[in-house]
Structures are given as structure tokens and as C-alpha cells.
Amino acid sequence: MTFGPATILHVDMDAFYASVELRRHPELRGQPVIVGGEGQRGVVAAASYEARVYGVHSAMPSTQARRLCPDAVFLPGDHAHYAEVSSRVMGIFRRFTPLVEPLSLDEAFLDVAGARRLHGEPEQIAHMIRRSVHDEDQLTCSVGVAPNKYLAKLATEDAKPRPSTGGPVYGTGVRVVAPDEVQRFLDPLPVRAIWGVGPATAARLDRLGVATVADLAQLPVEALVSAVGGAHGRHLHELARGIDDRVVTPNQEAKSVSHEETFAVDIFGHERLSAEIVRMADAVAARLRLAARRGRTVGIKVRFGDFTTITRSVTLDAPSDSGSLIAREAKALLERIDPTPGVRLLGVAVTGITKGVVGQQLSFDDLGSPASSDTADNSLEWREAETAIDAIRDRFGDRSIGLASSLRQGRLAPKRAGEQQWGPNEADPPPDVD
């Protein structure tokens, strides 16, 4: 395989949430800091390198993190502030190239092929980006430079700081994978480093004696297809050789809008869960309308106390941004799930996002009440009502107006983007339970 020049950058902020908090709380530098929910249902969003020494990592239950690192300082997190900082950092990236594809608040792909005449070679650009981020925002980032996205992301992992008891150990922060060293770079990596190799795939590959990328590269494609399936097997066969033809796509549209929440105590009945569904659907719909977007598929996620997780979805007749319709469909999905084991986490998502004004068929069902026979008129009425609600909240705040079903549960305000990201804290009041 012949590769083109190494002009793709993957930039990843180092311990982003924790680093932003340490910038605001310099007195905590050198201490193990964990960002996330501190309560019994909390989840770790980020951990400083001092905390990572103890085995703490993102998505870990906060109770487990506390056991591993009893002296850790927990901070609740501030998603809105992280988004603000992220916007500034992405702006720095765009000074070097317009071809910036954000993956999340703290990482992005850049194509700098067209920037070499102005800014120098890709490795130079990588170092300039790191200096700019540090000088302007007092944050650090790591950069992988390679011929394609897949290799650049793997290179970033090699460039990352290493945790130690004395704090992070920084290297150059930049790792370049040249076209002629692709296979030498890939071969020693564990097979789990490859995109798409999760526990199940790794177990199947292990039975074939595959432990490293080199082992995978030597495996006949027919054996891979037989072990993991046709499309997946062929894809892994290509990745083992460093092949990835995806291009950097700037201003990529969001593929979904969602909201999920971990409850302070398990919820066991449909009534309470339905009220939460209404508030989540209201928030998701408001975010869709704000972005002038609609979605075709409504889904829910239910996680029980034993961490068993169920997802369900339904495709609408036409894309919608109606909180009423999203809530109705989500509640219908919920009705087919037995909550008696106790629900730990609940989420609502809308996917199949489209932009522009498209026709849709709605029923004005007052979020669950019987639909009117005059569907078209009521569709217009409900849209006008939701538009009015958006305007009132924009002027007077989120708690100024709410839906009747939420009010009956004593919770007027909708769930907003960034709210309760990582589980409730101990101070958070538990919800009413059935």
C-alpha cells in the first residue's frame, strides 16, 4: 500500500474538563481532581493525570473512583464553560486551515495539505497549534500527524502525556507517522487499539491467535470474514494495513440530539418515568427548533440498577421538531419496557436529523391525551404554542413556563443541554418515586 503525505492532524486536548477546572482552581494543581457527579449515581467525566495514576478514568462510576482514589477532589463540572473554551480552541485550529472537523468539545481532525505554503510542514503546524493553545488558553493538547484520520488518531495516543505519581509526564506532544513507516507503527500495537475491536471482536480474534495488529494483518481476509462477519472483517483487514479513505469534513451536521439522566434513586413506575420523558422530549425538541432541524427517528435508552441497558426506537412518518410528538412516541416505547427492576438512567434521542422546513403530520395530543380529529389545524396550533413557549423561555428564563405534565410532578423547568451531565450529586434531591 502506498500512502500519500502525512497532512492529516488529530488534535486532542489533554484531560480537557479537568484541565479547564484546574485553570479556574490553581490551588488544586498537583492534587487528584475528578470532574463529574459526586453522588452515589455519579459518573466520572474526566480525571486529572494525578487521579489517573490510581486507575480512575472517564465513564467510571464515581463510587468506584472514590474507592480507588479516596483523596480525590470532586468538582461538579460546567458544560457551558467547557463549550465556551472549546469554541475558542476550535477557532485557533481554523487559523491554520478551514478544514476542521470537530469530533467533540476536546478533539478534532484537521487537513493541513493546503496550509503548508503559508505555515510550513504539518509537523511544524502541529507544534504551532500546541503553542497557540497553551499561550492563549493555558491548556495543553496532543497532536497526531499521519496520512489519514485513522492513523492520526492512533498517533495522538502515542503523543499523550503519561500519568505518574508526580503529575503528567509530557513528551513532545506531537507524533508523526510518515508514509513509509505506517506498518512499522501499526504492527506492535495491541489489536484492541483498532477502531471497531471491542470485547466481543477481541475475544473472537483471540481464539484465532490474534493479539497484535501484525497478527491481524497476516490473517487472510477470508478468515476474518468468517470470524467477525463480512463487512466488519473486510474493514478490519484494511485498518490492519492502515487504509482509511475518509476525508476531513468541516461543519459536519449533528447526527442526533439527545438528553439522558442518571437518577439519584432507582425509579420503579411508568408514571414518574413518563414525566421525565416529557421533560427530556421538551428539551430535545427545543434544541432542534433552535438549530432549525428536525428528526426522523425517536429513541429511548433505559438502564436498570444492575447496569443492564435497553434501547428502543421508532421511525416517524415525517421528520419532526415537536416536543408533543417526540414525547408521545418515546412514552409509547417506554410502555413496552418493564420498569419494575428499577430504572437507574433514562434518555431520549432524536436521530435522522434534517434541516429546512419539511412537511409533517402531527396530532395535538397534549402530550398523551387523545388526539383530536382535526389533525392539520391542531398541528398548526401546537407549533404556534411551542414557538410561543420558546420565546417566553428565551426572554424570562427556562423556569418561566413548563408543560402541564411536568408541573404536576413539581418540575416546571425543562431539561436543558448540559444539565446534569454526569449524574446527581449528593446534594441533589431525589426525584419523587412511585
Q: Name the one residue in this structure whose C-alpha cell is 419496557.
A: 337
Looking at the DSSP bridge assignments, the partners of residue 110 are 9, 100
Encode pLDDT of 311-348 as tens digits: 999 999 999 999 999 999 999 999 999 999 999 999 99
Distance in Å from the first CA to the final CA of the chain: 61
Give me the residue spans of the domains in the chain: 1-179, 187-239, 256-408
CATH number for the domain whose boundaries are 256-408: 3.30.1490.100
- Cα 68 from chain centre: 25
B/e letters for 95-111, b = 16+ CB within 10 Å, e = fewer, are ebbebbbbeebbbbbbb
Lowest mean pLDDT among 62-71, 267-276, 327-336, 411-420: 411-420
Domain 187-239 CATH class label: mainly alpha
The residue ranking higher by pLDDT, 317 or 407, is: 317
- pLDDT for 339 equals 94
Q: Mean of the per-residue pLDDT values for the chain?
A: 84
419 assigned to active site: no
Domain 1-179 CATH class label: alpha beta
DSSP classification of residue 26: G
Marked catalytic residue, from 101, 107, 261, 276: 107
Encode pLDDT of 188-236 as tens digits: 999 999 988 888 888 999 998 999 999 999 999 998 888 888 888 899 9
Which of the given ranges, 293-297, 420-424, 430-434, has the highest pLDDT on average?
293-297
- pLDDT for 369 equals 40
Q: Comparing 1-179 with 256-408, is the CATH topology the same? A: no
Looking at the DSSP bridge assignments, the partners of residue 212 are 190
Which residues lie closer than 8 Å to 264 by C-beta, 6 or more apart? 39, 40, 41, 424, 428, 429, 430, 431
Q: What is the dihedral of CA 371, 377, 381, 387, to 10 degrees?
A: 110
- pLDDT for 366 equals 39
**Whether residue 411 has pLDDT greater than 60:** no
The residue ranking higher by pLDDT, 377 or 393, is: 393
What is the C-alpha separation between 64 and 68, in angstroms, rounded?
A: 6
- pLDDT for 38 equals 80
What is the DSSP code string of 188-223? Answer: TSBGGGSTT--HHHHHHHHHTT--BHHHHHHS-HHH
Q: Is the four-CA dihedral 115, 121, 126, 130 of positive or negative sign?
A: negative
Closest CA to 233 of 252, 249, 220: 220
Encode pLDDT of 173-189 as tens digits: 999 999 999 999 999 99
What is the C-alpha separation between 427 and 42, in angstroms, rounded?
A: 12
**Whether residue 383 has pLDDT greater than 70:** no
- pLDDT for 407 equals 45
- pLDDT for 422 equals 62
Distances, alpha carbon 346 to alpha carbons 62, 118, 258, 311, in Å: 18, 49, 11, 10
